[in-house]
Amino acid sequence: MDRKNDGLRLMDGAGYKKIIIACDSYKGCLSSREVNEAIASGIKEWNAEDASSEIKILDSDASSPEIKKLDSDDAASERRKLSPDDASPEIITLEMSDGGEGMLDAFLSAMKGERVKIHAHDALMRWIEAEYEIVDDTAIIEIAQTAGLALIEPEQRNPMKATSWGVGEMIMNAYRRGVRHFIVGLGGSATSDCGIGMLKAMGDDWKKIRRECSFVLASDVTNPLCGENGAAYVFAPQKGADAKMVQMLDDRARKFAEVSSRHFGYDRSEAPGAGAAGGLGYAFLQYFNAEARPGAELLLDEIGFDALIQNADLVITGEGHSDKQTLMGKLPQRILEHVLKCKESDKSHVACSQLAGDCKSPESSFPLVWLVSGGVSDRQVMLDAGFDRVIQVTPEEMPLDEAMKPDVARNNIIKVIKNK
């Protein structure tokens, strides 16, 4: 069934029995959970309006769609006929992350593990309180908890000095607690030290960790360690590096990779993801034989996303700003891919059932996908990619600094969803 032609569902919230909300954070503004909750609040306004004196009904069979207005008694009767069981749809919110900001909270929500708080060092070797999660014998570590750029004041950011030492402290703390499997989110780092600080913090224990432990890296970065597409040239300027620093950082990374490759007899500096988190990706790949996977995919697998959407009517995803880059592996694109994959699988199943004599309708159910982002560029590209609706939250006339205020952003989300 092509729900783009399902007039009732596109007119308002009526008919939606199950809605899944799975948005990334609006970075620097709202967390994933806060975005999801604001969208859910907007959806609930659909039902508040449904209880008013008028109801809009689209006659989808007419050549010119007709909108009828009914008084309150007739509206209530019509609503029961059109949607007898679901005046309020089931709304499922899923905290999401691509391996960067918010990863720990997203995995904690999905896996229901134990939150561990420790004292460790930030990228400038200042003592801070950091957190990670333990589920059975697996630790979920967000490197931004200790090596995060957000922890460093803008005027103090210097990737020549910033260290990943605190990441090593978190891993060692988990290792001493008996953890032998690690999922490590590599987003949001202030460092460009290739993981040297992390290895130093481990001391000689890195050799035992190499033998006894396994690592999965959650990151969407595919850059190599060195060169014009490497960690220094692409990411260091965002961390405070000038042109001279960039060259020095790249030279340092290249020398470290040469020494490491001679020691191990192989070189992972060109592997996809080696340049993630200022070269921390390289340290995990080279020293611990880590496996790199897109962070969003790890989380979607963990929560059983494909099973959740089987009987959903609508999936809403989004991020702070969507443009062509969104379609290069960011969370909304991965959400869309999962829905489209399930749609194609469903069509194949129906076709096989019909060949076998099953009378099942070919109009099998699959959800619409809405993209709801703070800002949107390349809107038509998003629609062509498969999103059913592309919605910009921020009014065009609103200044960015105003739109980035959490309360303003939250109200903008509620308002735009309420009016959809």
**Tens of pLDDT, residue by residue, the chain (420 residues):** 333 333 333 334 447 889 999 999 998 899 999 999 999 999 998 866 554 434 333 333 444 444 344 444 444 444 444 444 445 789 999 999 877 778 888 888 888 889 999 999 999 999 999 999 999 889 999 999 999 999 999 999 999 999 999 999 999 999 999 999 999 999 889 999 999 999 999 999 999 999 999 999 998 889 999 999 999 999 999 999 999 999 999 999 999 999 999 999 999 999 999 999 999 999 999 999 999 999 889 999 989 999 999 889 999 999 999 999 899 888 999 999 999 988 776 554 444 444 444 444 444 467 999 999 999 999 999 999 999 999 999 999 999 999 999 999 999 999 999 988
According to DSSP H, which parts of 193-279 are helical?
196-202, 205-212, 231-235, 243-264
Strand, coil or helix: what is 382?
helix
Residue that is written with structure tokens 């260091």 in the block: 236
Domains with residue ranges and CATH for the chain: 3-41+87-96+304-418 (3.40.50.10350), 103-293 (3.90.1510.10)
Retrieve residue 246's tokens. Answer: 């960039």
- Phi, psi (5° rounding) for residue 221? -80, 130
Q: What is the pTM of this model?
A: 0.77
Question: How far is Cα 327 from Cα 329, in angstroms, rounded to an integer?
Answer: 6
Q: Where are the beta strands (DSSP E) in 272-415?
A: 291-293, 314-317, 321-322, 368-373, 375-376, 389-392
Q: CA–CA distance from 401 to each of 83, 153, 405 (Å)?
A: 42, 19, 7
CB 67, CB 153: distance < 8 Å: no
